[in-house]
Structure 1
Amino acid sequence: VLVTAGPTYEAIDPVRGITNLSSGKMGFAIARAAREAGATVTLIAGPVHLPTPRGVRRVDVKSALNMFAVAVEYAPVAGIFIATAAVADWRPAHAADQKIKKDGSGEVPKLDFVENPDILATLAQSPRGQSRALYCVGFAAESQDPLANAQAKRVRKGVPLLVGNIGPATFGQDDNALLLVDAVGTTELARDSKLSLARKLIAEISINITARGQKQ
């Protein structure tokens, strides 16, 4: 099982950057739950300060490009990919070599942005992702209407399972509520600790993969 967790950090200059409020707690809980279920787990962690779950291989990264490179490296030996990380959609085209300072002119520095690679879509649309040899699970942390956004994102990313939640209300918290969206319908997981929800999610993924295998 391959899991991404936490935020990414996109440097503007040596002392400033763009990041988000993701704590990584949900992803770390999922990594722990998968390990408890007997899986070999690799956790790709953005810049967070959380203890590594026992028995889990952890790879620390900083930027979206770092996370993308490591995910692509480990994906060929994974059977399940769970993308919980809140990855920056954009990054500054060029990070300044020195701290950007005010010059007294009142002019705001101009920043040009470029789009980061889409880790989930890349792996889901790979040959192994499309054949479901790599079962890809996405997360959608939304500020409103998680059901509609999760349904749309599942189709857009091409994944069999998309997990939705209200991001701003759960970042940094120890509990959450999840909405599981697949091709058949939706399943609500009521508010609970993130570890308890992680265990339920891993069980649901296992059921889905087993059912798919029986149909083949």
Structure 2
Amino acid sequence: MVRDNPGCISLGQGVVSYGPPADDVARLPGLMADLQLNKYQAVSGLPALTDALTKKLEAVNRVDIANGYRIMVTAGSNMAFLNAVLAVADPGDEFILPLPYYFNQEMAVKMCDAVPVAVPSLEDYQLDIEAIEAAISPKTRAIVTVSPNNPTGVVYRPEDLARINHLCKRYGLYHFSDEAYEYFTYEGAKHYSAASAGSACEHTLSFFSFSKNYGMASWRVGYVVYPEHLH
């Protein structure tokens, strides 16, 4: 079908139609020739990059890294998610995934011998907070939210994300907030970062991707903002 209809846009995978910013591409030769950058670097990422991300998070997401957070750059957001599951979970621990969920996150949970627990959402695909709370068990380790959502595109309401934060604080859980599509909002919807809440730093991990925002899918660059006590 795609071959017969030039200009078709595939909805089968989250691949954007644009490439990286031209300024970034133009800087690549100089960066690649920098001998210092070709040596082993800090595990958390190049200082210049983490500094830039700190400024972006403060300006765009209202997340103050100095308020109990750390940043780690990873080989894509999926790697960040998998690393986070490994960091907080033991075999048999449960992760609550509101339906419909991003399939890769279910895979990551299972790869770590943890258990995905699917919870229905409301008819408009917003979070069903009561259903999520009812699914919490002694084995629950985290609640996962994806906003803007993959696959529905729905943007979760700030008050609902705040309620997830409160549940996590009350029950001693982590809130895994996937924000890979943070710039993909329409019809007046506004993205809200759960980690921007004042008390969220104790339990909220936020996942971001360069693939969607900047057209850098093959570069494999993402990052996670995580509580300082997990460092």
TM-score, scaled relative to structure 2: 0.37
TM-score, scaled relative to structure 1: 0.39
The structure with more strand, counted as a fraction of residues: 1
